Amino acid sequence: MAEEEQDYSAIPLDERLVHKVWKARLHAYTEIVGTYETSRNEQDPCFNVSSDLFKKAIMDANVVAQEQGYNALVKYLTFGGTPANFNRIKSGLIGPICEKGLNSSRKNTKEYAQEVLLLMIEITDQPDTIIEEIIPYFGNRLPKTVAGCVSALAAIYENFGCQIVSPKPVIPCLVKLFAHSDKNVRAETMKLTVELYKWMRDALSATLLPSLKPVQQKDLTAAFEAVSGVAPEQKRLTRSQKQQLERENEQQAIGDDQDVDMEENNQPVDPLAFIDPVEVLSKFPANFEARISSSAWKERVEVLDEIVPILQRVVKLVPDDDYTAVMRLFAKCILKDANIQVVQLSANCTEMIAKGLGSNFQKYQSLVLSPLIERSKEKKPSVAQALDNALDAIFMVSGGDVGSILEAAINGMKLKTPQNKISAANFVKRCLSSTTVAPISSEIDAIMEIGIKLLSESQAPIRQAATEMIGTLMKITGERELNSFLTKVEEHRKAQIIAYFETAEVKCKLKSAPAPAVQTSSTTQRSNGGFPKKTLQASNGIGAATKLGARTSLPHSSIPAKRMATSPAKRSEEVKASNFGRGLTSRPITNSNVRSRAPGGGIAAGASVSASTDDSRYQNEIAELKNQIKDYQHQQSQQESRIKSLQTENSRLQQDLQNVVLQLENEKRNIEIASSVNETNINKVRSELKKSHDRIIQLERQLDLERIQSTKHQPYLSESTRSPLRPSTIIESNELSAGVKRLSIEGDIAMRGSMSPSFQYSGSTSSYSPITPANLPSHDTRNIEDDWKRAAEVTSQLRARIEKMKARSRNSTMNST
């Protein structure tokens, strides 16, 4: 008890840090934590420590002391985390953290270890070196250590993103981690991959998915789709970013405008920036040009099939290589090849090269853009989709500028083939939907000119494609910009354009010029359909005030115009008049004077009439809505009753189905039992038949032996007085007769004596009773013949029984089916 209650504060700090009692070390770590928390600044002398202090602390044998050691390291990096202080202690810390901290069984220790790595990334100006020290522990023999390291990397990319910490050294390790035998390692790898996907998007999926199992591909695809709409965000700033933000705040407090800097910081992330380019031209077949120009279509398809996997495995291509010759060959295959499979594969290769080169593909765009648009007349869905994907990829890497593809697209809409016109118009529509740069006036004029021509085509699909193209353009420019082009368009076609315009989705808007101070009635009328209500009211108010200002010179006006403009009722009446195309000059001056002289009565009368009209209209609408609600409720009750009846019927059918299944199972079981019984009976009969057959063969052999013996002893049998008969012959004959009699199926033949009454064995080994020789031959011969007949009868009876049992088995099988 005295040792446990010892006051360790009396021991110097250096001795407590290496004390053999873990409580003394715990006391020392706790004191260090308090010292760091109360430090004055980052240059406080308490931060001048060596790296050995924290190495021993995070490797402490006692888990409680170890936890406090990690807490001390966190406080050191938090309060004294300057690059100079960090460089003093960083040597040799990553390894112990990965081996002892990230796989700790204590929750706080694991969290402290992960926070230490995050603080290191936050402080250092070279975060990639920390990632490179963690990666070797992916091959550790303990799955717990591997899972902890992967989880720490996921937290790093979640907080700092790929712009601060490059994912290049981690991507090659993902395939090996997904193939790990431990499920926890695979689960943490999934989280890490999702965090990388937020920044890299399709660049990561194209690199990683082909190397994984189908099940893992399916799971990853679902996880990617769940975060596809989440924008990448850096949740935690580095120390340098915090210092820059503080400087900007100080400047903003002085009065500097920082809006431009904010726009510069919100630039979109390029996923290809996180991947190293790969050189692929040297991997093409040596005779690629000769084979792709071959007259045999199979050879052209084969060489393209060899190239497609090479390009599929590469996300980013080396931009310095010259792809001119390759793109010319692809363009020739797309435009002139008669085999659609060659066209499809060439379009796929063009798409992959465009995505791999990014903005560097613009110098090859003129080689393949027109051939792709001209060949878009193909109607086979797979080929048309491949051509459209290649066109979309070319527009995407062009920077989203509609003008870069507009000339070739318009030329495609001028071709004679209807499918070319449809495909080119749809291509322009897709470009307008995805562009972030609004087209200029000359581009709008060119699109509308060809679009109006396509609206007069005789085929409905062409007109529909033109309608969608113009409707999408109108979504960008607004109705007012295109009204002058649609004056000669039929009303029903114009209505279709307006309907598509209302549902179209675009990513940019045309910036209109500021509205003039004075607006005419026609301008107000047009703006009523294209601007918000607040803008409309403001513009009308300005115009009304201007026109009323001109009335001050009228001789019959007794109230100044400005007072009349402040009347709400007056402004509402003028807005209604402008909507019908009538200005203030078309109104009688006398009416204006009357209203101006007695404003109160006119307003009250108009208000009462309008109020009664509105009340009646609202009551009618309420009655209609109530009727509709009743109809909906009635329909809902009918649907609910219908649903209940269907559910009842469904349950009944399910019960019937279960009964039928049980009945079928019982029948199947009975059939199996009957089959097994029949098979057993058949096997028994077969065994009996086999035994009988063997017995017959044995009897035949004995019969032959008896015949031979009887022939040999015939002289002795004629002379009865000369020598006695051998007893063995007679015994064998009697045994033969007895054996045949036992094989009788009916069993009604009684067993007779096995020996002849005229011959009896006396019991001695050398003497037998004599018999009459004259009676032996006839008696012996008759017994042998009878035995043979009985054996034949037994065989025939056994065969008949076997046939009956086979027929009975067949009948039972047919009845059961």
Confidence class of residue 175 from pLDDT cuts 50, 70 and 90?
very high
Q: Which residue has the higher pLDDT, 496 or 611?
A: 496
Query: Which residue's entry shows tokens 């789709």?
Result: 225
The pLDDT of residue 2: 45
Confidence class of residue 772 from pLDDT cuts 50, 70 and 90?
very low
- Say if residue 60 is in the same domain as residue 143: no
The pLDDT of residue 5: 57
Residue 186 lies in a domain: yes
Residue 544 has pLDDT above 60, yes or no: no
Confidence class of residue 582 from pLDDT cuts 50, 70 and 90?
very low
Domain count for the chain: 5
Phi then psi for residue 313, to 5 deg, are: -80, -5
Please say which residue of 240, 273, 296 terminates a domain. 240
In the three-class reduction of DSSP (H, G, I as helix; E, B as strand; rest coil), residue 166 is classed as coil
Give the CATH number of the domain where residue 346 resides. Answer: 1.25.10.10
Residue 272 has pLDDT above 80, yes or no: no
What six digits make up the tokens of 32? 């260090």
Confidence class of residue 445 from pLDDT cuts 50, 70 and 90?
very high
In the three-class reduction of DSSP (H, G, I as helix; E, B as strand; rest coil), residue 295 is classed as coil
Give the range among 50-59, 154-163, 616-625, 713-722 with minimum mean pLDDT.
713-722
Residue 36 has pLDDT above 70, yes or no: yes
Going by C-alpha positions, the residue among 376, 407, 402 that lies closest to residue 389 is 376
| Max mean pLDDT range (625-639, 680-694, 714-728) | 680-694
* pLDDT 10s digits, 382-406: 999 999 999 999 999 988 889 999 9
Give the range among 257-261, 500-504, 648-652 with minimum mean pLDDT.
257-261
- Say if residue 369 is in the same domain as residue 499: yes
Residue 192 lies in a domain: yes
- Say if residue 298 is in the same domain as residue 410: yes
Q: Cα–Cα distance between 740 and 784 in angstroms, integer?
A: 10
Residue 785 lies in a domain: yes
Query: Which residue's entry shows tokens 């009964």?
Result: 659
The pLDDT of residue 658: 84
Q: Which residue has the higher pLDDT, 674 or 324?
A: 324
The answer to whether 781 and 706 have CB atoms below 8 angstroms apart is no
The pLDDT of residue 569: 38
Residue 774 has pLDDT above 60, yes or no: no
- Say if residue 316 is in the same domain as residue 234: no
What six digits make up the tokens of 160? 């700092």
Confidence class of residue 540 from pLDDT cuts 50, 70 and 90?
very low
In the three-class reduction of DSSP (H, G, I as helix; E, B as strand; rest coil), residue 693 is classed as helix
- Say if residue 95 is in the same domain as residue 214: no
| Max mean pLDDT range (204-213, 320-329, 662-671) | 320-329
- Say if residue 415 is in the same domain as residue 564: no
Q: Which residue has the higher pLDDT, 210 or 596?
A: 210
- Say if residue 462 is in the same domain as residue 354: yes
Query: Which residue's entry shows tokens 């996880």?
Result: 223
Mean pLDDT of the chain: 79
Residue 418 has pLDDT above 80, yes or no: yes
Residue 57 lies in a domain: yes
Averaged pLDDT, 552-573: 38
Residue 528 lies in a domain: yes
Confidence class of residue 783 from pLDDT cuts 50, 70 and 90?
low
- Say if residue 337 is in the same domain as residue 472: yes
Averaged pLDDT, 272-291: 89
Residue 531 has pLDDT above 50, yes or no: no
Residue 100's domain comprises 1-124
* pLDDT 10s digits, 109-163: 999 999 999 999 999 989 999 999 999 999 999 999 999 999 999 999 999 999 9
Q: Cα–Cα distance between 98 and 606 in angstroms, integer?
A: 83
Residue 726 has pLDDT above 70, yes or no: no
5 burial type by CB count under 10 A (0-12 exposed, 13-18 middle, 19+ buried) = exposed
Residue 263 lies in a domain: no
- Say if residue 161 is in the same domain as residue 94: no
The share of the chain scoring above pLDDT 90, in percent, equals 45
- Say if residue 737 is in the same domain as residue 682: yes
Please say which residue of 598, 616, 651 terminates a domain. 598
Give the range among 178-187, 370-379, 607-616, 791-800 with minimum mean pLDDT.
607-616
The pLDDT of residue 267: 55
Residue 249 lies in a domain: no
Global pTM value:
0.55
Confidence class of residue 468 from pLDDT cuts 50, 70 and 90?
very high
Confidence class of residue 563 from pLDDT cuts 50, 70 and 90?
very low
Angle between helices 51-58 and 63-79 (to 10 degrees): 140
Phi then psi for residue 768, to 5 deg, are: -130, 155
Averaged pLDDT, 29-36: 91
* pLDDT 10s digits, 611-644: 566 677 788 888 888 888 888 888 888 888 889 8
Going by C-alpha positions, the residue among 261, 274, 190, 260 that lies closest to residue 232 is 274
Given CA atoms 541, 543, 547, 552 in this order, what sign does their dihedral have?
Answer: positive
Number of H helices, E strands in the chain: 36, 0
- Say if residue 101 is in the same domain as residue 201: no
- Say if residue 154 is in the same domain as residue 117: no
Q: What is the DSSP letter of 268?
A: P
The pLDDT of residue 343: 96
- Using alpha carbons only, what angle is made at residue 178 by residues 172 and 183, rounded to the nearest 5 degrees? 150
Averaged pLDDT, 428-436: 94
Residue 343 lies in a domain: yes
Give the range among 27-36, 507-516, 609-618, 743-752 with minimum mean pLDDT.
743-752
Please say which residue of 124, 159, 190 terminates a domain. 124
